[in-house]
Amino acid sequence: MSFGKMRTPIQLILTENVKDNEGFSSPQDTVVAEVWAYHEARHGSERWANRAAFSEATDLFRFRIIPGLQVTTKLFLRCEGCRYDITSVEDVKGRGMYVEILAKKVVGSGAPAKPEGFVGKGGATD
């Protein structure tokens, strides 16, 4: 892996529940590291076929090990405005130089899509 392939800025995020002064807890994100990484989206290559055990993973990230930071599956990853749930963390070839992360893109739950032909209140298809 060379520095030339690490062109994608990523953030490693720790999410903690924080209580406000009224006693309600809400999740708060804290960026623990910002690094340049190699990013590969899932596609039909032989390499991804060999990762069948991690079929839920949608993306692969590789970056240099950050001294003093233990990267675990408790962290999240943010890349290009998208949030990823880390499913696997591995030291590449056990040399202590690079970290490889398999992650699943987090898709927010929104309102269901409107059926085709839906016009709305008072429309012809109601």
Give the pair of three-digit tokens for residue 51: 């990762």
Amino acid symbol at 10: I
Residue 10 near residue 79, CB atoms below 8 Å: yes
Whose CA is closest to 62, among 33, 95, 91? 91
Residue 89 near residue 63, CB atoms below 8 Å: no
Mean pLDDT of each 10-residue bin along the chain, 126 residues long: 76 91 88 92 62 69 92 92 91 88 81 47 50
Question: Can you give the pTM of this predicted structure?
Answer: 0.72
Residue 125 near residue 88, CB atoms below 8 Å: no
User: End-to-end distance of the chain based on CA atoms, in angstroms?
Assistant: 57
Domains in the chain: ranges and CATH: 3-105 (2.40.10.270)
pLDDT recorded at residue 20: 85
